[in-house]
Structure formats: C-alpha cells, structure tokens
Amino acid sequence: MSYLIKPKGYKPLLDLKQTELGIKQIKDFFQTNLSAELRLRRVTAPLFVLKGMGINDDLSGTERPVSFPIKDLQDAEAEVVHSLAKWKRITLADYTIDTGYGIYTDMNAIRADEELGNLHSLYVDQWDWERVITDEDRNIDFLKDIVNRIYGAMIRTEYMVYEMYPVIRPILPPNIHFIHAEELRSMYPDLSPKEREHAIAKKHIAVFIIGIGSKLSDGKKHDNRSPDYDDYTTLGLNGYPGLNGDILVWDSVLEQPMELSSMGIRVNKPVLLHQLKEEGKEDRLELYFHKRLINDELPLSIGGGIGQSRLCMFYLRKAHIGEIQASIWPEQMRKECKEHQIPLI
C-alpha cells in the first residue's frame, strides 16, 4: 500500500539541472571521504547471486527476492541482491584484506515488496562497505568510533552542499547522539518503535540507535534483523545487548526521521550459532556462507550500508526519493506529486 506525504507549501530549492549536478557532487564527495575515513578500497559487486548459497541478505526475513532462471546453467535460479552484507565478508577473505582496512562498493537492488512512498522505492542504491577487525575491536566503543567517522564524512558533505548552493542551510549538529533501543523504550514506553524514532530524531536531529534485532525488556524487538550478519546479542551499551544499529537524521522537509544507514559489528562463530538457534534458522548452517564462517575462513568484520538516494534527498532537501532516482510509481502518486510541485524523475 503506497503512502505519500505532501509537505504543505513545498517547492524544490533546486531545479532539475542543479539537482542532477548536486547528486553527482554529493556521491563523488561522500564516497571519497568515507573511503579515507574507514580505509576502504572500491571493489566491483554483483547485481545477482545464485539462489541457495546463503549469500543474499535476508533483511527482516519477509521480503521476497526478485529471481530468474539462467539458461546456460540448466535453469538454475539467480536472485537479485537485497544487499551485500554477506558477500562483502566473503570478499574480504578472498581479497585477503588486511586488518584495519576494508572495501566498499555500489550496491544496486530491486525490492519488489517495498511499500512505495516518499522514502521507499522499488530501486535501492547504497554504498555497501565492510572492514576487517580484530577480536579486541568487538566492543561498543569501537562501534561508536566507526559511527563517528561516518558522521564526520556526513558533516563535511553537508557543508560542501552549502558551498555549492547557499540556499541549503546546514542543519546537522556537530555530534551524533547515541542511545540504545532499550533506553529509548524506557523514555517512551507508550510509543511504538517508529514513534520513538520520531521523538528522538526530532529532539537530537542525528541519532544512532543501538541494539536493532535483540529483544527488549518488554519481549519485543525494536526492529527485525537477519540473525546471520549483525551481532545484536553480545552485550553493548550499558550492559544491553547489541553491537549494531541505525543512523537516523531528522528530515526537515517531511518532518520525520530518515534512516540513512544500517550497520554493525558482524557475528563471530559463537554468536552466529546462538542467533540462528534463537530464531530457529539452524538449517542455514548447511549453506555456503555459513560453512565458511563456521570453518574460520572469514575474517571478523564490521560493515553496513549507506543509502545513496536518501543521502542526496536529505542534503538537497527533497520531498520524495523519486526526485533523486528514476523508478516506477503508482499513477495516482505521480498525479498527486505533480499537483503538489514534487517533480518525479
């Protein structure tokens, strides 16, 4: 079911040509800064992988991947990637990336089950990144340091946009606010997880919510995560479980939070076994990715994804992701966008 927010009095600050130039400048500038901050080298990534190998990201576990048969492989099924969370860790091993260094790539996906709207499209583009770490790095302070480095690149990019287009005033605070999902629940016990995100993002503008995927004290999760990439059960902030989280910023145009990144320290062998058992997914241990992890063939790592179109949408103060990327939208949505001066590409 598609849903459209129509900001009252909205008018794009940039025309189409300025927007296209801004998109290019943002993508070039941000990925250069991200690469320097985290010591990442660019690699080429697949658009699709073979089904049944456990390489594709399962996201929250309910989304169906787009698939197709391959004629020259006796109609073996291929799946368009949802993200590259597991593929990246395999690549770290295959490229023998040194500790303290990593990779990043342009990830393009098709998510046919998305509920289309201002922030959600059938087409997903993000920077997927992964970095080799040591066992001593598997702690909350290291996670927060990496988040701060990414946020530093975001701050610099916002100022670059302001230099290009002075009409776009910077709004990001100098520091990102860290909070665990359990602490957030305690602050707003009567709100749903999405309503809590709205409240905390509006208050602090830039927030990193820790512990996505673990059960909170009320027995519910803040949000779902696949059990075989992020470590969401090891003790993290203030004794609460979770070495992962989401970067949220306050979208001043839509007046709601915008998730820009999901990331975390990845599972090691004991955590993988524990999380798969907790979710009743132990059958995955027979898959290619999981066998390599259990056999100690994959390095310890931290990684995540950063939405490219969303990042551009935020910096350029756009009301709809369709102002940044070309995709398919319901005719009624296109009509309403045109009526409210939201020019979809």
Type of residue at 1:
M
The active-site residue out of 137, 182, 231, 246 is 246
The active-site residue out of 25, 31, 35, 57 is 57
The secondary element (H helix, E strand) that includes residue 196 is helix 193-204
The active-site residue out of 89, 111, 266, 310 is 111
The active-site residue out of 37, 77, 183, 259 is 259
The active-site residue out of 31, 83, 126, 325 is 126
42 is catalytic: no
CB 333 within 8 Å of CB 4: yes
Residue 322 per-residue DSSP state:
G
Q: With DSSP H G I counted as helix, E B as strand and the rest as coil, what are the percentages for the chain, rounded to 5? A: 35, 20, 40
Type of residue at 137:
D
Helices 140-164, 308-315: axis angle to 10 degrees equals 50
111 is catalytic: yes
Buried b / exposed e along 183-203 (16+ C-beta atoms within 10 A)? bbbeeeeeeebeebbbebbee
Q: In what order do the strands lie in the sheet with 206-210?
A: 40-42, 102-110, 123-132, 301-307, 256-265, 244-251, 206-210, 177-180
Phi then psi for 149, rounded to 5 degrees? -65, -45
- Residues 6 or more apart whose CB falls under 8 angstroms from that of 141 comprise none
246 is catalytic: yes
The active-site residue out of 226, 261, 262, 308 is 262
The residue length of the chain stands at 345
Distance between CA atoms of residues 80 and 68, nearest Å: 9
Distance between CA atoms of residues 172 and 34, nearest Å: 17
262 is catalytic: yes
CB 73 within 8 Å of CB 54: no
57 is catalytic: yes
Distance between CA atoms of residues 154 and 294, nearest Å: 36
Catalytic annotation, residues: 57, 111, 126, 246, 259, 262
